[in-house]
Amino acid sequence: MSTSVSSGGEPLAAPTAPAPASLDAAGGAAAAGPPPVPVLEARGLVKTFGHVIGLRGVDLTLNRGEVLGIIGDNGAGKSTLIKCLTGALQPDRGEILLEGRQVSFRSPLDSRQHGIETVYQTLAVSPALDIAANMFLGRERVSKGPLGLLFRKLDKRGMRAEARQQMARLGITTLQDMSQRVETLSGGQRQAVAVARAAAFGSKLIVLDEPTAALGVRESEQVLELIRELRRQQLPVILISHNMPHVFSVCDRVHIQRLGACAGVVSPATTSAEEAVAIMTGAKQLVAQ
């Protein structure tokens, strides 16, 4: 596992080279401007599954308007971490603060009602439902007419139209027919549905667990562009990815997860992808900041 990641990291050094330059401005602004405002903070998160330790006391901070990358080898606890943050799992210990207030999400619905949208690694789409139904799953619109008032009739046409608009806004062109069932879509198209859903409804922050894993080059670039757009709108994003060029081109800071713990948080402006991979695999250690 680790060799594939680091060997993947080396040839990628070239494309990442220009990235720090563009990020310097953002990094510099963050350093010189007003102090960062934390949107989401986690302290000392512990999560065990029987004898398996998923998280062994992890801290994480996400600031307003920032894209935080999370990298780490398979099984390092990335998904467990964001599941604890979004209510899909409940941490055994530790606390979570959303905009300074302590929260404990008992379900994904709980976190969603607090404005947190998540694309889970498993995508959480319902295969038998169509694209529009999946986009609006759990927050379906009822039609405005008398049937809606009296019999709670769904506004299927309205939701379909809005889903189509949302796809267009995100530049997703591979999905045309909003009444197509998700089980007939390719893996990448399903991922696009999940990302579009999160982008459409996230109001406080968006969590993306490997959103580009199944996407083609063009579609991946669209997701990265979407993340940049969210940052321009000051909406913070947590991005989990194994793709170092992606992480180092869009993220303001990168949280490195290793063996269930945080091995360090680095800035792409000052740390190269190779160094981050070395920390991730344990070849190098970061002195605590």
Ligand X SMILES: Nc1ncnc2c1ncn2[C@@H]1O[C@H](COP(=O)(O)OP(=O)(O)OP(=O)(O)O)[C@@H](O)[C@H]1O
Q: Which of 25, 31, 37, 52 binds ligand X (CB under 6 A)?
A: 52
Q: What residues between 74 and 133 interact with Mg ion by CB under 5 A?
A: 79, 121
Q: What residues between 176 and 205 interact with another protein by CB under 8 A?
A: 181, 183-186
Report the residue number, 54 or 65, with the smaller CB distance to ligand X: 54
Edge-first strand order for the sheet with 101-103 is 52-63, 38-49, 93-98, 101-103
As a whole number of Å, the CA-based R_g of the chain is 19
Q: Is 127 in the site for another protein (CB under 8 A)?
A: yes
Segment contacting another protein by CB under 8 A, of 51-59, 125-133, 163-171, 234-242 = 125-133
Q: Is 77 in the site for ligand X (CB under 6 A)?
A: yes
Q: What residues between 66 and 95 interact with another protein by CB under 8 A?
A: 88
Q: Measured on CA atoms in the order 50, 51, 52, 53, is the torsion positive or negative?
A: positive
Give the nearest distance from C-beta 14 to another protein in angstroms: 36
- For residues 264, 205, 107 and 160, what is the CA-based torsion angle, rounded to 10 degrees? -140
Give 163's Cβ-side CA count (13 Å radius).
28
Q: Is 79 in the site for ligand X (CB under 6 A)?
A: yes
**Token pair for 67:** 């894209």
With beta carbons less than 8 A apart as the criterion, state whether 155 and 244 touch. Answer: no
Report the residue number, 143 or 243, with the smaller CB distance to another protein: 143
Give the nearest distance from C-beta 195 to another protein in angstroms: 14
208: phi then psi, degrees, rounded to nearest 5: -125, 110
Report the residue number, 133 or 278, with the smaller CB distance to another protein: 133
Number of other CB atoms surrounding residue 194 within 10 Å? 24
Quick one: which H or E segment has residue 85?
Answer: helix 78-86
Report the residue number, 154 or 213, with the smaller CB distance to ligand X: 213
Distance in angstroms (rounded) separating the CA atoms of residues 108 and 208: 14
Report the residue number, 151 or 288, with the smaller CB distance to another protein: 151
Give the nearest distance from C-beta 194 to ligand X in angstroms: 15
Q: Is 107 in the site for another protein (CB under 8 A)?
A: yes
280: phi then psi, degrees, rounded to nearest 5: -60, -40
Distance in angstroms (rounded) separating the CA atoms of residues 142 and 7: 52
SS3 per-residue string spanning 247-269: HHHHCCEEEEEECCEEEEEECCC
Segment contacting another protein by CB under 8 A, of 46-54, 145-153, 166-174, 234-242 = 145-153
Q: Is 102 in the site for another protein (CB under 8 A)?
A: no
With beta carbons less than 8 A apart as the criterion, state whether 159 and 130 touch. Answer: no
Give the nearest distance from C-beta 270 to Mg ion in angstroms: 27
Q: Find which of another protein, Mg ion, ligand X, none residue 4 binds, CB within 5 to 8 Å per kind.
A: none
What residues line the site for Mg ion (CB under 5 A)?
79, 121
What residues line the site for ligand X (CB under 6 A)?
49, 52, 54, 72, 74-80, 121
